[in-house]
C-alpha cells in the first residue's frame, strides 16, 4: 500500500494570502496524483489531476506541482469559499488518499 | 446533467451485511471508458477506497476489505451496488459512489451515512 502523508493538518490563513499544501508518497507515484476539495456536508470535488492539470471549472488560483514522492497544491490568493479540507490521492497503484489538510480562512 | 445518488439503509446491525446502490444519471454505466467505485469516510477521518467495477463486471477491491466486499453492476438499470459483510462499528462511515476515470474520481455522489449499531 502506498501511504500518502499530508502536511500541515491545519492551515490558518487570511483572505488574499497564498497557501501551500503538501503531500508526500511513501514510494514514487510518478505524476499519478490528484487533489480534491471537500467542504462540510458536500462530496469531494476534483481539483487537480496528473499532479498539475486543473479539472474543468477550477479557478486558475489553484495550481499543482511535483512528481515522484513530493507534491504541492498552491492557492495563490485565498478567498473565503476556499475554506475546506483538501485531500491528495495517488493512482499509481490501487487508490489511496492522504488524511487531509484543513484550510481555515 | 451527470449525477450519482446512493441509496440504502442507514442503520445496520453488527455481523450483518451492508447493502447500498448507486444510481447514475446523465452517463451510461455501460461506457467502456469508466469504472465505477465506492469510497467511504468514517466520521472525522479520511477517505478510504473500497473498490471499483467495470461495465464488464470486472472488479477491483481494496486488499484490506477484499474478503468482505462485493461490488456488482446492473447495466439495465444504470446502477451498481456494494455489499459489505460481517460489519462492525469500524464500518460506520459515509459511503460515496463515484465515477473512476483513468485513476481519478471525477464525479461523486453526495454520500450516505451508514451506522453500525447494536
| CA angle (B34, B112, A95) in 5-degree steps | 40
Question: What is the pLDDT, as a whole number, of residue B30?
Answer: 87
Q: Which of B26, B27, B29 is CA-nearest to residue B77?
A: B29
pLDDT tens track for A57-90 = 999 999 999 999 999 999 999 999 999 999 999 9
pLDDT tens track for B70-93 = 999 999 999 999 999 999 999 999
Test B109 with A89 for CB contact under 8 angstroms: no
For range B3-22, the mean pLDDT: 96
Phi, psi of B35 (to 5 degrees): -105, 170
Question: What is the pLDDT, as a whole number, of residue B61?
Answer: 96
The pLDDT-based confidence of A40 (bands split at 50, 70, 90) is: confident
H-helix or E-strand spanning residue A19: strand A19-25
The pLDDT-based confidence of B34 (bands split at 50, 70, 90) is: confident
Question: What is the pLDDT, as a whole number, of residue A72?
Answer: 98
Q: What ranges in A9-49 are assigned the alpha helix state H?
A: none
Residue with cell 485531500: A87
pLDDT tens track for B53-74 = 998 889 999 999 999 999 999 9
DSSP symbols for B16-45:
S-EEEEEEEESS-TT-SS-EEEEEEE-TTS
The yes-or-no verdict on residue B31 having pLDDT over 90 is no
> Which of A34, A55, A95, A97 to probe by mutation at the B interface, max B CB count within 10 Å?
A95
Determine contact: B111 vs chain A, CB below 8 A. Answer: yes
| CA angle (A98, A101, A104) in 5-degree steps | 165
Question: What is the pLDDT, as a whole number, of residue B70?
Answer: 98
Question: What is the pLDDT, as a whole number, of residue A66?
Answer: 96
Contacts of B46 in chain A (CB under 8 A): 87, 97-100
Number of Cβ pairs < 8 A linking chain A and chain B: 49
For range B25-46, the mean pLDDT: 90
Question: What is the pLDDT, as a whole number, of residue B44?
Answer: 86
Among B49, B62, B108, select the one facing A44 at the smallest CB separation: B108
Question: What is the pLDDT, as a whole number, of residue A15?
Answer: 93
The yes-or-no verdict on residue B32 having pLDDT over 80 is no
For range A24-46, the mean pLDDT: 94
Question: What is the pLDDT, as a whole number, of residue A48?
Answer: 97
Q: Which cell numbers in the block locate residue A64?
A: 499543482
Q: Which cell numbers in the block locate residue A67?
A: 512528481
Amino acid at each position: 500500500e502506498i501511504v500518502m502523508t499530508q502536511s500541515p493538518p491545519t492551515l490558518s490563513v487570511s483572505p488574499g494570502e497564498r497557501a501551500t499544501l503538501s503531500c508526500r508518497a511513501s514510494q514514487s507515484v510518478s505524476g499519478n496524483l490528484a487533489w480534491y476539495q471537500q467542504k462540510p456536508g458536500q462530496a469531494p470535488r476534483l481539483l487537480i489531476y496528473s499532479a498539475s492539470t486543473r479539472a474543468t471549472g477550477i479557478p486558475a488560483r489553484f495550481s499543482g506541482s511535483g512528481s515522484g514522492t513530493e507534491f504541492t497544491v498552491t492557492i495563490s490568493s485565498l478567498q473565503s469559499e476556499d475554506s475546506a479540507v483538501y485531500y491528495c490521492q495517488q493512482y499509481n497503484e490501487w487508490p489511496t488518499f492522504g488524511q487531509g489538510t484543513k484550510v481555515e480562512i | 446533467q451527470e449525477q450519482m445518488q446512493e441509496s440504502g439503509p442507514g442503520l445496520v446491525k453488527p455481523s450483518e451485511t451492508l447493502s447500498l446502490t448507486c444510481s447514475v444519471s446523465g452517463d451510461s454505466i455501460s461506457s467502456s471508458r469508466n469504472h465505477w467505485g465506492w469510497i467511504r469516510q468514517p466520521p472525522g477521518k479520511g477517505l478510504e477506497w473500497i473498490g471499483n467495477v467495470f461495465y464488464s463486471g470486472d472488479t477491483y477491491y481494496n486488499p484490506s476489505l477484499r474478503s468482505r466486499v462485493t461490488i456488482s453492476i446492473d447495466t439495465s438499470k444504470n446502477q451498481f451496488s456494494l455489499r459489505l459483510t460481517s460489519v462492525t462499528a469500524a464500518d460506520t462511515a459515509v459511503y460515496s459512489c463515484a465515477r473512476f476515470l483513468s485513476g481519478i474520481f471525477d464525479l461523486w455522489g453526495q454520500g450516505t451515512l451508514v451506522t453500525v449499531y447494536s
